[in-house]
Structure formats: C-alpha cells, structure tokens
Amino acid sequence: MIKVICMGDSITEGFGVEPSESYPSVLQNLLGEEYRVVNKGVCCTTALNVENEKGVMGMPYMREVRYREALQEKGDIYVVMLGTNDAQDGMDDTQDFKYEQNDMISRKADFVPCYRQILQAVKAASPGAVIYAGLPIPVQECIWRKHQESYLKEIRACIKEAAAAEGVSLLDIEGAFAALPKEEQLKLYQEDNLHPNQEGYKLIARTVAGVLKNKRHDFT
C-alpha cells in the first residue's frame, strides 16, 4: 500500500466542510485501496516559522503536533501545500490597524528558507519519499482584506524557488483553478472567497490524483 501524506493549512485540513469532503478524503476515494491518504493539515498555519521582538509570528506549521506526526508517518508520497496564510499583511477587517504578529508578507525574505526546512525535514524522515510542493489556489475577493492574491503571487514564486533548490516537483493546484473562467472559479469557493467549497476540494483532489496516477510511482 502506498502512503500519501498531505501536509498543509486549512485548505488541506478541510475548513468549512465535513471531514469526508476534505481534499485528502476525496483523494483517497479517487486513488482507491492501493493507497492510504493521511490528512495532516492544520487550520491557520504558515510555512514561515519566525519571531520578532513580541514573539512568534503567525501560526507556524513546523510547531504543530501534526507536522511532527506527518514526519513520523514515513510516507511514500508527501504533498505539501502551504503559503496562503503567509500571504497576508495583518490588516484588521474594518479598522485602519495592522496586527504586527500576522504581517507575514513583511517576512517574505524568510519564506524560502522556512519552506526548504520543511522539505528537508521530510527528506530526512523519509529518504525515499516523493515530495510535491503544491501551488496554493487563488485568493478571490476575500472577506478578510489581509488576504490578497497579489501577496500570494509573491509567495508562489518563493515556493517555486524553494522547490527548485530542493529538487522537489511542483503540483500546480493554482493552475487548475486559474484555467477556468472567473465566474466558474467563484463557484468553487465558500462565501469567504478564500477556502474551497465541496466542489473546490474535489478539483484539488482530482488535480493531485491525476498527477500521482500519471507518475505511476513504484515503491516496491
């Protein structure tokens, strides 16, 4: 049995839907009994693992129990999809006020080293594993103004840089959404215009499944 470990934030954990509707759960159904898909996503987490004079910024995935569990799983395939929560500036939704501890985009220079640290940890834990770095889905007109697609474009470029440096393949989740007309994209999101709905999670799962099946990984 091939073990697939899904690491990431709320878009991996399955925010806003039933556990059976998260993309890892749908992926399990698509891949079938030859695979075991494990969901190690944690809502609100960032790839960035940095501090300032006030303490830890954001909610680093690397400090979460599920991160350690993901490494302990010794998977055959790892799908890492982080970056959405790194693409925020900490602005309050209504007031002209910035929460400094959530101004993650201000620490963009630290993103590549942090993301590489995650990839390196996976390699060290499971030397034979195939690793994919997922490019996060587009941010639409999000109800939380701190989340901006312009920031996420910068973060995707950082993910590409980190993946190239570590010899890790990219998984173009963004492209699967961006290929659709705007009105069709919007139908794949919850009301917050940040998280996918059931149909959006299905598209993520189909995209991941298509890559895994086409690669025909042999772990025998």
Q: Which residues contact 133 (CB under 8 A, 6 or more apart)?
A: 80, 81, 115, 119, 159, 162, 163, 168, 169, 170, 171
Per-residue pLDDT of 189-200, as tens digits, reads 999 888 999 999
What is the CATH architecture assignment of 2-215?
3-Layer(aba) Sandwich (3.40)
Angle between helices 111-125 and 65-72 (to 10 degrees): 40
CB 57 within 8 A of CB 48: yes
Q: Which residues contact 210 (CB under 8 A, 6 or more apart)?
A: none
Residues 151, 104: Cα–Cα separation, whole Å? 10
Q: What does the pLDDT average to over 149-171?
A: 96
Q: pTM of the predicted model, to two decimals?
A: 0.94
Bridging pattern class, strands 51-52 and 55-56: antiparallel
Report the pLDDT value the prediction gives residue 216, as an integer from 0 to 100.
Answer: 62
List the domain boundaries for the chain: 2-215
